[in-house]
Every structure is written in structure tokens, then in C-alpha cells.
Structure 1
Amino acid sequence: MSSMTLDTLVQRTGRLLAIPRVVGEVLKLLSDPDSRQSAIAALLAHDPALVAIVLRLANSPAFAPARTVDSVERAIMLLGRDHLRRLVIAGAVTQASERLPMQNLLPLEVFWRHSAYCAVIARLLAELEAPDLAGTVFLGGLMHDLGQLILFSQAPEAAHLAFLRSLSEPDSISPQSAERAELGFDHAQLGGALAAHWGLPDVLCACLRFHHSPLDAPETFRLPVVLVHLANTGAHLAELDSRDWRDAPPVDPAVWAAVRMRPEALLESVEKAQHQVLAVEALRNPQLAG
């Protein structure tokens, strides 16, 4: 087992991926009903790269905007503060991930493609099950595997050993169990702890922490966690262009019982997501939009 602890890794990664102070200040203004839109826009303008990411995502077909969002103030007016808050968090985390050391075990392109699929599928499922959760689970899906990216960049040897062990014993040990055996914690626990360290909303912390074990999530957050969990399975199918359940992490029958949708609805969402995901990938790389 690795000598690295969860707290040690969270503290180290928290410093490496520190979210810019401007983000925290913007989130405070967005939570203040008396703050002015112009003040929020002026503060965000201190980070032009973040503004660009936020506006690209706001205009993504994944959100099906009715009208072009060409400024932060217009984003507040058209999307609302809650939606803009989620876009700012997504943009900040996307920026932060670029500061991780380069590694070949989980390239950023692979990580973000899976994350984009999970985000889009989670939103599509929420539109069927609980439309008011669509924005929340989109962000939860986009960030759900952040802990895995951190493991492969900060503890590559242990993460790789866990990966190889889960491959050699696929019927007896899950990837998360292999991580816990090697490190003492898994990537979902790490992602949830880092989200809490950043002070992100509790529902997002739960989506990261419990996306592999949704029935263990606090009841208050169980539905959004279940939707992200199902979307993760769908994302694996989408990446392989498969509709064979054997090609993706299995879904416990009790999870299906926690929602009203049919399993076929997930497959239908996978089909739809494959037509939308490129626009979400363009969040990182604008060249993909062309």
C-alpha cells in the first residue's frame, strides 16, 4: 500500500490546482442577490481565459441556448445566476486541470472526452427524470472522474498498479477496490475530498464522492448522484460506440429501482450524446468547434 494519505494528496493537489481568487469572489457575488450584474462581469474580466471558456460552454448546443450569449452580463440575464455559477466552476476546474503534469496513462484528451460524454448524458437523463437538476448533473458529470486524473498525475505508480490489478482480476476486484487496496482510498473519495477542499456545493461533492456507489449517497443528493452514475455507464458505451451492457460498468438493479426511467432511456441518451459531445469538448479546445 502507498504511504500517501488522502489528506496529503488533497492538500498537495489543492495547492497545485488552486482555483484563482477571482473565482471565489465571483461566486460570492453570484450568491448575493443585491450584487449588480456589471460588478460580476467586471470582476470576471480579470480572467479573460475563464470568460472565454464560460461563454463557449454557455453557447454550446449541449445547453441548447435560444439566443447567443456574447457577454457575461447577457449570460446572467439569459441563463440566471445559478447556471452561470455552474459555468464558472466548470471553467475554473477546466483551467486548473491544464496545470497538472503531463502523463501518458490518462491523457487529458481521453479524460475530457469521457467527462464530456458523462456530462451530456447526465443532463439528458435529468431532462427525463428531474429537469431542475439538469445543470447540476451536467457539472457533476463533467467533474466526476477528477480524482482519477489526479491519481494518474500525482501517484502514477500506485494508480497504474491498481489499474493492472483490476485488469488481471476483473471478476473479483473492481477498479475502485484495487485503488483502495493500493492506496487506502479510491479516485471517487479523492475527487469528493478535493471538491470539499475547494468549497464547492455539497451536491457536487456527493456526485464526485459517490458516483460509483450512488446508493451510499446521502438521501438529499441521491437522485443527482444516481443520474451521474448512470451517465458514467452510458459514457463508456458512447466512447466504444457500443450498446452492449457488457462493455460498460454494470448497473445494480437497485439503482434502476431508484429512478423511474427504463434502461432503454439510457441507451437513447447515449445516441443523442454522440451528436452533442464535440461541442462540449470544445470547452477545452476551441479548434474542435470547427
Structure 2
Amino acid sequence: MKQRASKEEIIAAIKEVPLLSPSASQLLQLSANSDHDISEVVDIVKCDAALTARVLKIVNSVAYGLVHEVTTIERAVGYLGERMVAGIALGDSASALFHKELEGYDGPKSELWNHDLRTAIAAREIAKQSKQPLSPDLAFTAGILHAVGKAVLSDFLQQTANDVLTSIDGHEVTDYLAGEREILGIDHTEAGYELARNWELPESLQCAIRYHHRPAEAPPEYQHLAYAVHLGCIVAMMCGSQSSDSLQYHLDQNYINFIDLTSEQLALVMLEVNETFGTMHNAMTDT
């Protein structure tokens, strides 16, 4: 395959991506710190009028079916949970990225957000089976962010998605990551990592993005998180994906050294993804 764009061009494009809102950035920082209080989440939301209105609208939506209207942020955060509030802030702040049409991956509008949300739900459940203490909320947030690099690479991969698949079928490259690198000199995990650095995300989230397809290469302190997102991404693809790269990545069999997941537990994770995705998706898109 002939390289269509240079890595330098793509890095330059990444630097042009707008920064996250202060509220989203602060909530992501909190999610990576286990030593915080829910009141800190409430305070961040209260200082953002638009986010306050959005959170209250979602918690009072038909998706949650509450009998009594919720009128305070304290109660809203209590009902929704920290991870959902962080997801709302992130989804709104980077809406143009998450909901764009992924033409370079033959993915329809909002496919990236749908995949990321499924991955987040799966990673949260998988984190509970980690052989080392791992915050399910951190795994959820990492899942939401893990594939954000695709939003950048998609513009550079237009008209070439079939080339990548043809190369995989012809054994010219080993998987979709290798195909991206062959064409662009960079893959979506590296692009996402560069974007995460520009956004000044916590190191744990940067590493989850960078190594979610290569968890064995993650720094030791973040390997359990990387494996949780790695498995979550594959589960999300199994539960439903409309992009050309679906299930075109390798499963790292060494996950068994980090995650204690039986086939029965995997089935339960998939069930949770299918059940929870609908509620979260409807709440966040139908308001």
C-alpha cells in the first residue's frame, strides 16, 4: 500500500483539535484519582450552567423513569453516578469528534460514540475481575476515550478502508493497526495518545488509549487498566459494530494473567453491555 499522508501532517491536525471544556477536563482528572469525594463532582457541575442543565435534563428523561422530578445536582449525581456525569461532560465537550461520520472506517455517524460507550460499560464490568485493585469508574472513563484517535485518522483514511482489509486478507499486514501504520505512518492508538497529551489527560488515561490494542507494552502500573480496556473493546465489537475495522485486531491471550474472567462471566459482561447501553444511549441522545 502506498502511504497517503505523513505522520507530521496528522500530528499537526491533532494539534488543531479544540481543547476539552474545563468541566470535562476537571471531571476526567477526578476520575483518575481514587481519593476524591462526590461533593467535588457536584461542585464542578454546579459551576457549569450548561452542564447543570444537561445533567438535570438527562436524569429527568424517560430513560430513567423517575417518579419525582430531580431538581438538585446533588440528587442528580447520586442517581446517575460519577462515571455517567463525566461521560455526559466529555460527550458534550467533544461532540464533534465522537459523533462525526467515520468515513475512513466505513462507520456511520455516532458509530465511534456507540462503540466507546459499549467499551466503557464492558471495561467497567471487567475491571471488577482484575487480579489487582482497579477502579471500575476509571476503566469506564478510559473506555469512553480509548478510540478517540479514530476521529482524527478517519479523515486521512477516506477511500482506503478497503485497502486495509485487502492487505489483512492478503497477509501483507497482521491487523488493522498495522494497516493504518502502513498507510499513514501512525495508527489510531498513537493518534489518540497524542490527542490525550494535548488535552493534558491523566497519565493513566493516556496509557489506556495508547496501549488498548497492545496492553502487554503498557507500563506495569497501568497494565491491568490497559487489559480491561483491551477486552472491553473486543466485547464491544462482539456486541455490535458497523465499522470496517470491527474484530480486525488481535486478542492478547496474556489477559489471563491480569483479568480473572471465565466464559460464564464474559457472557454476563456481554449481557450487561447490551442491557445498559440502551439506557445510557437513550438518556444521552434523546434529550
**Structure 2 vs 1, CA of residues 126 and 149 (structure 1 numbering), >3 Å: closer, same or farther?**
same
Q: 8 Å contact 1:17–1:100 — kept in the other structure? A: no
TM-score between both structures, scaled by the size of structure 1:
0.74
Per-residue Cα deviation, 1:229-282 (whole angstroms, up to 9, x for no partner): 011111111117xxxxx9674422222222222244223211221111112223
Structure 2: gaps (5+ residues): none
Instruction: Report deviation, 1:97.
Output: 2.0
Instruction: Report deviation, 1:173.
Output: 2.1
1:44 maps to which residue? 48
**Structure 2 vs 1, CA of residues 103 and 252 (structure 1 numbering), >3 Å: closer, same or farther?**
closer
1:128 maps to which residue? 129
Q: How does 1:5-44 map to 2 (within 5 A)?
A: 5=7, 8-21=9-22, 23-24=24-25, 40-44=44-48
Q: 8 Å contact 2:24–2:90 — kept in the other structure? A: no
TM-score between both structures, scaled by the size of structure 2:
0.75
User: In 2, Cα distance between the equivalents of 1:219 and 1:116?
Assistant: 26
Q: 8 Å contact 1:55–1:70 — kept in the other structure? A: yes
CA RMSD in angstroms comes to 4.1
Aligned residue among 125, 139, 142 for 1:140: 142
Per-residue Cα deviation, 1:127-164 (whole angstroms, up to 9, x for no partner): 23367511111111122111112211x31337536534
Q: How does 1:15-94 map to 2 (within 5 A)?
A: 15-21=16-22, 23-24=24-25, 40-45=44-49, 48=50, 50-54=51-55, 70-74=71-75, 86-87=86-87, 90-94=90-94
User: In 1, Cα distance between the equivalents of 2:222 and 2:102?
Assistant: 34
1:193 maps to which residue? 194
Residues paired across the two proteins, number: 272
Q: 8 Å contact 1:17–1:99 — kept in the other structure? A: no
Structure having the larger proportion of residues in helix: 1
Quick check: 206-215 or 125-134, which moved more? 125-134
User: In 1, Cα distance between the equivalents of 2:259 and 2:195?
Assistant: 28
1:261 maps to which residue? 261
> Kindly, what percent of the aligned residue pairs are identical?
22
3-state DSSP class of the match of 1:259? coil
**Structure 2 vs 1, CA of residues 165 and 262 (structure 1 numbering), >3 Å: closer, same or farther?**
same
**Structure 2 vs 1, CA of residues 185 and 261 (structure 1 numbering), >3 Å: closer, same or farther?**
same
Q: 8 Å contact 2:181–2:187 — kept in the other structure? A: yes
